[in-house]
Structure 1
């Protein structure tokens, strides 16, 4: 017999739905904690399915919007390389491919000259002309992501946000169900303390 008073059925059998939904039906064995647990399970899965999808979409759109603003605001600027760049990928400050950090000098739209460090192709000598990216104030910024890169990262950010929400909801639901289980076990223990001695007396 199942612990809910219904015969066990095989997986996927006709009794599966009854075992999943019995807490919602009027039942003399149903306790208030059973209804609360059923509501918790329903709420968790609604949050995972509906909330996760919503958070994923909103996060993805927000990330895509931020990347679009980067592409709109950042401008390529011609700069002069101030040092020889002989490093290759995996050397010095290389960050992949054949690009390394190097000191450059550039002029902003108001005519002021600035120096700073930017990613440039390796294998160039001091004085070479390179392209750097600046924000509206003329400060150096990383090259903005392309449309394809932005869409890919937006999807990843959205998926991560959805998974984070799902994980938090499942953890909270699991904690609440654990508390309810402990509460039921404690209640059974108290009831047995009252009933157990009577049974022992009768069978002794």
Structure 2
């Protein structure tokens, strides 16, 4: 027996099996397709997601600019209330855009600051206060997490579709066995019971 035939037999033994059914071949191809689509599609989905997330974070870093603002009221050292953390609390600040327009808004500031203190806030393209964009390292980690999640979600969908296809094939085999038994069973003689 030559090497190619031996390899073919080793990997596709069921092809020469006299008991194989059409559904067995279809199921084997479904399993192979699920693995290939999961591997290739998951990688593509992950890469596309990581690239898209990285673009969003880069745009945020480009659009969000630091602006000097002035605190409008004293912020006591120990503040307890809604919207506070242990060392920050919401307070009103005022800043001037490069075009000369003056804005006031609330933002989180360190506790214990006096009115008139200068702080740095981030503003977006519309001149509204926004959070600091993620650094390149933080963006890379977050893009990786998002890519992994997207790839896993894609793999779950593909595996679920493959499981559904295999379940339907199994149902068809059971129905076929039932029909065949209805034809062959009476030929076996008397029934017990």
Identify whether the pair has TM-score above 0.5, normalized to the shorter chain.
Answer: yes
| Structure-1 residue corresponding to 2:160 | 171
Tell me whether 36-45 or 116-125 shows the greater mean CA deviation.
Answer: 116-125
| Structure-2 residue corresponding to 1:194 | 183
Pick closer, same or farther for the CA change 1:33–1:23 going to 2, 3 Å.
farther
How many residues of Structure 1 are paired with residues of Structure 2 in the alignment? 187
Alpha-carbon separation, structure 2, partners of 1:27 and 1:168? 32
Alpha-carbon separation, structure 1, partners of 2:79 and 2:12? 63
| Structure-2 residue corresponding to 1:8 | none
Pick closer, same or farther for the CA change 1:118–1:18 going to 2, 3 Å.
farther
**Residue 126 of structure 2 corresponds to residue 137 of structure 1:** yes
Alpha-carbon separation, structure 2, partners of 1:146 and 1:49? 31
Q: Please provide the CA RMSD for this pair.
A: 2.9
**Residue 53 of structure 2 corresponds to residue 63 of structure 1:** yes
| Kept in 2: contact 1:81–1:125 (CA 8 A) | yes
Identify which of 102, 105, 114 aligns with 2:94: 105
Counterpart of 1:25 in 2: which secondary structure?
helix
Alpha-carbon separation, structure 2, partners of 1:147 and 1:45? 34
| Structure-1 residue corresponding to 2:20 | 30
- Greater RCO, 1 or 2 (C-alpha within 8 Å, sep 6+): 2
**Residue 83 of structure 2 corresponds to residue 93 of structure 1:** yes
Pick closer, same or farther for the CA change 1:100–1:169 going to 2, 3 Å.
farther
Alpha-carbon separation, structure 2, partners of 1:54 and 1:35? 28
Return the TM-score normalized by structure 1.
0.80
Alpha-carbon separation, structure 2, partners of 1:140 and 1:188? 69
| Structure-1 residue corresponding to 2:71 | 81
Alpha-carbon separation, structure 1, partners of 2:153 and 2:24? 28
Structure 1 position 20, deviation (Å): 8.9
Return the TM-score normalized by structure 2.
0.84
Alpha-carbon separation, structure 2, partners of 1:85 and 1:155? 39
Structure 1 position 133, deviation (Å): 0.5
Pick closer, same or farther for the CA change 1:39–1:102 going to 2, 3 Å.
farther
Pick closer, same or farther for the CA change 1:19–1:26 going to 2, 3 Å.
closer
Which ranges in structure 2 are unaligned for 5 or more consecutive residues? Answer: 1-6
